[in-house]
A = this chain, B = another copy of it.
Amino acid sequence: MVPLYQAKTELFRALGNPVRIRVLELLYDSPKPVHRLLAEIPIEGSRLSQQLGILRGAGLVTARRDGNTVEYALSTGEVAELMATARRILAHLATGQEELLAELRVERAS
């Protein structure tokens, strides 16, 4: 029996990689076959495939063979939600920094 915090760790760890994040962002709008992802993310095909394997393993995406190609999709809308919340946190942190910079400007002026 896996403790909950361990499962959560693995979930977030699966998200903590630039290639995997870009994949999830691309799938945010609609499912896409591997070659479409590859067109947007300029890396070796084998590498993309490995990262897709990690996302699959974490249950974040699903893969469906369609003839010669394989189509990937987010496994649930909640994954999209997680990405959206992350964006909001980032926006929050960014404005925090701007405020900090503004404060520093005031201090320097006075």
Contact = CB atoms under 8 A, between A and B. Distances in A.
Nearest to A3: B18
Interface of A is mostly: helix
Contacts of A82: 82, 85-86, 89
Nearest to A78: B89
Contacts of A21: 5, 8-9, 12
Interface of A: 4-18, 21-22, 25, 59, 75-76, 78-79, 81-83, 85-90, 92-93, 96
A82 B83 CA distance: 9
Given A18-B5, A96-B59, A79 B89 contact: yes
B12 A86 contact: yes
